[in-house]
Every structure is written in structure tokens, then in C-alpha cells.
Chains A and B, each alone.
Chain A
Amino acid sequence: MTAALRFDPIRLPEKCEQLRKEVRAFLAEEIAAGTFDPHSPNREDNDAPEFSRRVGAKGWLGMTWPKKYGGQERSFLERYVVTEEMRVANAPTRRFFVADRQSGPVLLKYAPEHIKMDILPRICRGEVCFAIGMSEPNSGSDLFAAKTRATKTDGGYLINGTKIWTSSAHIADYMIAIFRTSPPTKENRRHGLTQFLVKMKQPGIQVNPIGQITGQFEFNEVVFTDYFVPDDHVLGEIDGAWKQATSELAYERSGPERFLETYYVLTELVRAVGKNPDTRSAEGIGRLVAQVHTMRRMSVSVAGMLQAGKEPVVEASIVKDIGTVWEQQLPHRVRDLAAFVEETATNRETLEKQLDFAIKTAPKLTIQGGTTEVLRGIIARGLGLR
């Protein structure tokens, strides 16, 4: 066989179910206290800094990291449970989600000890928000075309250039960004980029909000003008960022957030059709549930393989490819079925509002975090086609 794809039927261990109960109870309390509305997926105005701290106090941030950095040394499968319960509840996670999933692990691997000791415990306490500085005005999917320069100066680097589509940059305390430290070579166009830790809210950084078609202002343009980064903020090998980026992507691509982004419309549709759906509604719901169940089983399988120390890079890319395509289609399929919902359904207005938001959200799902086209290129490489 050319391509032996593995999706072993991995189940979450028993201890995860206890944790799941704790997370659900916590979220129920937060909802009761008015921290957030589980029926409203638009969390734009809700940075919920206090909520972040309470999640941290529960020990649910950085939970797989070493204890000396504030972590809990728990498994990726336990983290999986926390992530999916928060996502399904529409909890306001954006202040800590990037740091917990991505930035923390990068620091763990590449930051000097004193920086780890400084920042990681604060991530675990839910005190700091991270952004990711990858895309530039002329460098999106083609990451290695990045032009923002880091020029060597005494004791560090001076940064000049612009990052764009940077989610949460306006509230972030830090950014992990790639900057150009050398030109690409003839042999390797990926050469010459270096990963840096950037402290936000400093002179030399200007953050300009960019409106999105959902009406939100989640992402930003970030302009650097002679911004100074000290030497100890270099993360990993100078000019070698391309070697560092790929191995972590399996975590980023296969999580529950890659197929549950619009899930709430399915729940609301089930509520709207009631206990005795007609054949059309029943069939439509059945097909959608079969998909979400299958996606989740694939995603858990990848999480289990990661926990076991394997590197399911192709499998993770497949999860994001078909997961995001599905969550993009979901609001449209729910809309098809909602056309037949009785006028008297008590949650009709909620469903319509949610559909409106989900349909506007849908286009971004197959773009953010690696476009469908890039993912299919990675899968094709894994199949031996390129």
C-alpha cells in the first residue's frame, strides 16, 4: 500500500470523564453567573479576563506542561476534554486559547530558562494573552515570503515591517512572530527566517484593527518601527524557523476546534424540530450527526497517537481538511432544514441569529491556520505525489 493511514479507535481514558464533569459543572456555574451566554457564539465583546483567571485557577491551562512551569503534567487527552467542552459551550476562550495550544509549547521548546520561568506560569494562571505573527500583506499561505526584517543591533534586533490578519493582537501581551534575519538562499528559499518572542504594548508597535465580515474586529494589522527585541527573545535557531514550524502543526490542526466552530447551529436545529421530526428533518439531522461523530473519532484518534509519541502529520492535516470543510458547510445544511421548522418553535429567533453569524463566519474556517489548498498539498506529499 502506498499510504497506510492510521485512525485507531482510541477512547478517552476513564479519568477524562471525571474531568469532563468538573468542566461542565464549572461552565454551568459561569453561565449561571452571567459570564457568557452559551447561545451566543459571537464573543467579540467578551474578552473575559476574569474568566481566564478562573480557568487557570482550575489548573486547565498549560495542563500538559511540567509542574515547575505551572503545568499539571496531565495528558493531551485530558486537555482535549477541556478544549471540546469549552468550545461546545461557546465559552470565551480567546484570551488564553492561543497561548495554551501553541505559544506555550513553542516557549517550552525554544525559550531560555528564565523566560520560561517568567511567562509559562502566567499563561497557566490565565493572565497573559498571545498572538501569532505569521502572515504579512504579501505573505499569507506562502509563509517563507515574509519580509518583515529583524536587523542585528547591539544586544538584540531592530524590527521593521508589518504583520497582518493577526488575531487578538489588540489585546495580546505577547506575540510569537517570524522575522527575516537573512535573505533566502538559492538552494533553500525557506532559509533566513527566525522565530522571536515579542512583547506587545510597547513603543515601536502599532496595532490597527481590521473589521471582518462578521462585524467583529478580531484581527489586526501590526506595524513594527525600529522595535527592539533583546537577544534572549530569539526562539530557536537563527535563520532556521522553517525547521521548527512543522512538528507542532499536528497539534494545531487536529483539535476539536477544527470541526466544532459552528456546531451550535446543529444543537439549536435539534431543539427547533422537537421530539418528533418529519422524515426530511430526521434524515438531515442524522447525516449531520454521523459526520460530527466521525470527525470527533478521527480527531480523538490523532490526539491519542500524539499522546503515544507518534507523529501523525498527514492524519492531522486530513482532520483539519475535512473538519473545516464540514463545519463550513454545516450552517448551510442547517439552514436547508430550518426552512421547514414550525413558526411556533420557541427558539426560532435564536436559531436564525446563530445561522446568520455562522454563515458569515463560515468562509474563514478553511483559511485560518492553514488553507485547504496548503493542507491538501501536505496530504499529497504524504501520499507520495510530490
Chain B
Amino acid sequence: MAESENIVAETAEKIFADLADAQTINHDKQGAWKAPLWQALTEAGLPLSWVPDDLGGSGASLAEGFSVLNVAGRHAIAVPLAETMLAGWLLTQARIASPEGEMTVVPAGPKDRITLNSDGSLSGRARGVPFAKDAKHFAVLASGNGSNSIALVDAAKCRTESGTGLGGDHSDTVTLDKVPPITIKPAPKNFDQTALMLMGGVVRSLQIAGALEAMLDISVRYSNERVAFEKKISRFQAVQHNLARLAGESAAALAAATSAADTIVSATSLDNDAVFLEAASAKIRCSEAAEKGGGIAHQVHGAIGFTIEHILHRYSLRALAWRDDFGSESHWAVELGKLVANRGADELWPLVASR
């Protein structure tokens, strides 16, 4: 990690440690922690990390932003930091300035389409949009007349049906019915919905990897405290081996996610097989790790980890919820399988070895 990545990630880490303590948040039924946290993040310029200065952001690098998202995952942050970063990144692709406040991305899944109408308005429906209810603006990717456009849209102009994801965060259905955008510009050449989904998938992969690191950490700590059959449960080989497997899942998720992020950092375009392999693999592997690793974390904790009072669910359920955003692992597995088959058997190893 470069020094600048460290500084930005450390800033985020400090804000989360001060204002997003999992125990405090878990006991705060009113959500009083949200406003001060968002304010501190905003003052540090983190939500618009990926927006250059001249478009209203703080102009951090892609790498710096990715490192923030990994830290955010470790704290299972339940404000739309990742979503606003991604929205700012999307708007920046078309050189559209980002407004202040919470944003999210529409659509947030590979199957939903927003259409650009001939009168310049936008129509369509997107399901599972994270934090749509909390967002003041949407960054929208729309298609029409064989090309893609990127638009800034006032959230109040759209119909948002409230929903809740596995992690308890908003996951809403957004309907645009001939909504006039605030700003709309053509997307860059070769920038399409797949590119947005790949980028979103890498964001979620980093968050899942972070959540797994946290789950490993609290599970190891708990096993060294909890006594059963007159000894710490960490002394039981069966528990040790489960935790070793959790470490493996956490490691695989971290490796896959950081490798994919690193690939995007050095890629000139998202439209190539190397980016596809890395980003799709990260989402597939991290999603699988969320299931296996989270399951072990719960098993180690026993009944206490199943209670709403315990913090474990903040990580385990969010990691599971994040699997669904920007294309599930099943979706990406089918797409990756098609790509590999299409390249042919003897081109598989050269693709893997090229990374």
C-alpha cells in the first residue's frame, strides 16, 4: 500500500473508530450516530473521494478510495459511503459535477435497465438499489438509441419503494417515469452497464473482505474468552480448525478483492478480459467466502452471536447482503463461464497466467 493510501485509509479508520463503534451503533435504536458520522466523513472529503476537485470532490486516487472501502467493510458501515463514492465515480466518467449529500447508483443490478426517452427524460425501474431512500441524488446509467448516457437525477423526482436488504440497510425499488435529469451527458466510449456492474462488484468485494477480516478478529477474540467444558473454547481442536478455515476464507476474499481493485487502478479501460476475470472472480469468491466464513463466525459464537444485542450480525448479514448488489455470484459465474468458453479451452490458462 502506498503512503497516500495509508493516510486516506487511516483517516477513515479514525472516523469509524470514533463515530461508528459497532457496540454503540447496535444499542442506538434511534440512529443518532448517523448524522455525526456522515458529517465527519463529508468534512474529510471521503464520500466524493473519486470526484476530482474541479467537479466538486476531493480528488483522491482510485487506489486510495478502494482502501477506504476495505476499511469501511471492516466496520460494516451502514451509511451510503460506498454508494456515494460509486455515484461520484460514475458521474465523473461523463464529467458531471457531483452535488453534496448522499447519493446512490441506478441501476444496481445487471438485469434492470433505465431508458433515455426521445424527449430527454428517463424511464425504467431498478430494484435492490442500496440506500435509495437515504439518497438526495441518483447517478443514473441509461441506454437509448444504441448508446449509453450518464445522468444526475433528483431523487425526489423518482418513486422509491422502501425495502430492506439482509443487513437491515435500505435496498429499495426506484421507478423513473419520464423523469427529467438535472444533467445528462454521453457515457465514454465502451462504457456500459457491464463496466458499472464490474466496478460496483469490486466495491462490494472489498467491503465483504473487510467484514470477513472483522468477523475473524472478533471470533478469535471470543474463542479466547469463552469457557466451556472448563477450558477456553479456542483450546478445542475442532474450534481451532473452524477458525483456520475462516482465516482461509477471509484471506481468499481479501486476495481476490484487492487484486481486482489493483487491476482497475492500472487499467486504461474496464472493457477487457483481464478486468472481467479479476472483477467477476472477486465477486464470486468473496460472495462464497461470505457464506462459508460468516457461517463459521456464527458457529464459533454459538447462541450469543444469534442475538440482536451482539454485534456479529452487523458484519455477517451485511456480507451476505452485499453478495446481491451489482450482480450476484451466480450472475457473474455464468458470464465468466461464457467468456472462458468463448475464448476456448487452450486460452484459459494464458488468461489466468496473464494476471
Nearest chain-A residue to B246 (Cβ)?
Answer: A383
The reply to whether the CB of A18 lies closer than 8 angstroms to some CB of chain B is no
Q: List 27 A-B contacts (CB under 8 A).
A: A3-B217, A7-B258, A9-B255, A9-B258, A84-B353, A85-B353, A270-B340, A273-B341, A276-B341, A282-B335, A282-B337, A285-B341, A287-B288, A289-B277, A289-B336, A290-B280, A294-B252, A294-B255, A297-B259, A298-B251, A298-B252, A298-B255, A315-B251, A318-B247, A321-B248, A376-B244, A383-B243
Question: Contact between A289 and B243 (Cβ–Cβ < 8 Å)?
Answer: no
The reply to whether the CB of B240 lies closer than 8 angstroms to some CB of chain A is yes
Residues from chain A with a CB closer than 8 A to the CB of B335 are 282, 286
In the assembled complex, the Cα of A321 lies from the Cα of B221 at a distance in Å of 22
Partner of A277 from the list B251, B280, B338, B349 (CB cut-off 8 Å) is B338
Q: Would you give the 0/1 interface string for B83-106, flagging 1 where the beta carbon is closer than 8 Å to chain A?
A: 000000000000000000000000
Question: Contact between A297 and B277 (Cβ–Cβ < 8 Å)?
Answer: no
The reply to whether the CB of A373 lies closer than 8 angstroms to some CB of chain B is yes
Question: Contact between B220 and A2 (Cβ–Cβ < 8 Å)?
Answer: yes
Using CB atoms and an 8 Å cutoff, list the residues of chain A in contact with chain B: 1-3, 5, 7-9, 11, 20, 84-85, 88, 263, 266-268, 270-271, 273-277, 279, 281-287, 289-298, 301, 314-315, 318, 321-322, 373, 375-377, 379-380, 382-386
The reply to whether the CB of B115 lies closer than 8 angstroms to some CB of chain A is no
In the assembled complex, the Cα of A3 lies from the Cα of B243 at a distance in Å of 11
Partner of A286 from the list B248, B340, B353 (CB cut-off 8 Å) is B340
Given that A3-B216, A286-B335, A386-B240 are known contacts, is A296 also in contact with B352, CB under 8 Å in the complex? yes
Question: Contact between B342 and A275 (Cβ–Cβ < 8 Å)?
Answer: yes
Question: Contact between B348 and A290 (Cβ–Cβ < 8 Å)?
Answer: no
Question: Contact between A385 and B251 (Cβ–Cβ < 8 Å)?
Answer: no
In the assembled complex, the Cα of A85 lies from the Cα of B342 at a distance in Å of 22
Using CB atoms and an 8 Å cutoff, list the residues of chain B in contact with chain A: 1, 213, 216-217, 220-221, 223-224, 234-235, 237, 239-241, 243-245, 247-252, 254-256, 258-259, 261-263, 277-278, 280-282, 284-285, 288, 329-330, 332-338, 340-342, 344-346, 348-349, 352-353, 355
Given that A275-B342, A290-B285, A385-B243 are known contacts, is A7 also in contact with B213, CB under 8 Å in the complex? no
Given that A5-B247, A8-B258, A290-B336 are known contacts, is A380 also in contact with B216, CB under 8 Å in the complex? no
Residues from chain B with a CB closer than 8 A to the CB of A318 are 247-248, 251
Nearest chain-B residue to A81 (Cβ)?
Answer: B353
Given that A297-B259, A318-B247 are known contacts, is A1 also in contact with B285, CB under 8 Å in the complex? no
In the assembled complex, the Cα of A293 lies from the Cα of B259 at a distance in Å of 10
In the assembled complex, the Cα of A5 lies from the Cα of B252 at a distance in Å of 10
Nearest Cβ in chain B — how far from A94, in angstroms?
A: 21
In the assembled complex, the Cα of A286 lies from the Cα of B330 at a distance in Å of 9
Nearest chain-A residue to B333 (Cβ)?
Answer: A286
In the assembled complex, the Cα of A276 lies from the Cα of B340 at a distance in Å of 10
Given that A9-B262, A267-B346, A294-B281 are known contacts, is A289 also in contact with B248, CB under 8 Å in the complex? no
Question: Contact between B281 and A289 (Cβ–Cβ < 8 Å)?
Answer: yes
Partner of A5 from the list B254, B262, B277, B288 (CB cut-off 8 Å) is B254
- Kindly count the residue-residue contacts between A and B in the assembled complex, taking CB atoms under 8 Å apart: 184
Residues from chain B with a CB closer than 8 A to the CB of A314 are 247
Nearest Cβ in chain B — how far from A383, in angstroms?
A: 5
Question: Contact between A379 and B247 (Cβ–Cβ < 8 Å)?
Answer: yes
Question: Contact between A289 and B244 (Cβ–Cβ < 8 Å)?
Answer: no
A-B interface, 3 closest residue pairs, ranked by CB to CB distance from nearest? A282-B337, A286-B333, A286-B337
Question: Contact between B352 and A7 (Cβ–Cβ < 8 Å)?
Answer: no
Residues from chain B with a CB closer than 8 A to the CB of A270 are 340-341, 344-345, 348
Given that A9-B262, A286-B334, A315-B251 are known contacts, is A383 also in contact with B280, CB under 8 Å in the complex? no
Residues from chain A with a CB closer than 8 A to the CB of B332 are 286, 290
Nearest chain-B residue to A5 (Cβ)?
Answer: B251
Partner of A379 from the list B234, B244, B281, B288 (CB cut-off 8 Å) is B244
Question: Contact between B256 and A379 (Cβ–Cβ < 8 Å)?
Answer: no
In the assembled complex, the Cα of A290 lies from the Cα of B255 at a distance in Å of 12
Question: Contact between A293 and B352 (Cβ–Cβ < 8 Å)?
Answer: yes
Question: Contact between B333 and A384 (Cβ–Cβ < 8 Å)?
Answer: no
Nearest Cβ in chain A — how far from B284, in angstroms?
A: 4
Nearest Cβ in chain B — how far from A130, in angstroms?
A: 28
Residues from chain B with a CB closer than 8 A to the CB of A289 are 277, 281, 336-337, 340, 348, 352
Partner of B341 from the list A2, A5, A282, A382 (CB cut-off 8 Å) is A282
Question: Contact between B345 and A271 (Cβ–Cβ < 8 Å)?
Answer: yes
Nearest Cβ in chain B — how far from A262, in angstroms?
A: 14
Question: Contact between A274 and B341 (Cβ–Cβ < 8 Å)?
Answer: yes
Given that A282-B334, A282-B338 are known contacts, is A383 also in contact with B353, CB under 8 Å in the complex? no
Question: Contact between A5 and B250 (Cβ–Cβ < 8 Å)?
Answer: yes
Nearest chain-B residue to A266 (Cβ)?
Answer: B348
In the assembled complex, the Cα of A295 lies from the Cα of B336 at a distance in Å of 16
Question: Contact between B352 and A380 (Cβ–Cβ < 8 Å)?
Answer: no
Nearest chain-B residue to A315 (Cβ)?
Answer: B251
Nearest Cβ in chain B — how far from A298, in angstroms?
A: 4
Residues from chain B with a CB closer than 8 A to the CB of A383 are 216, 220, 243-244, 247
Nearest Cβ in chain B — how far from A371, in angstroms?
A: 11
Partner of B217 from the list A2, A294, A295, A321 (CB cut-off 8 Å) is A2
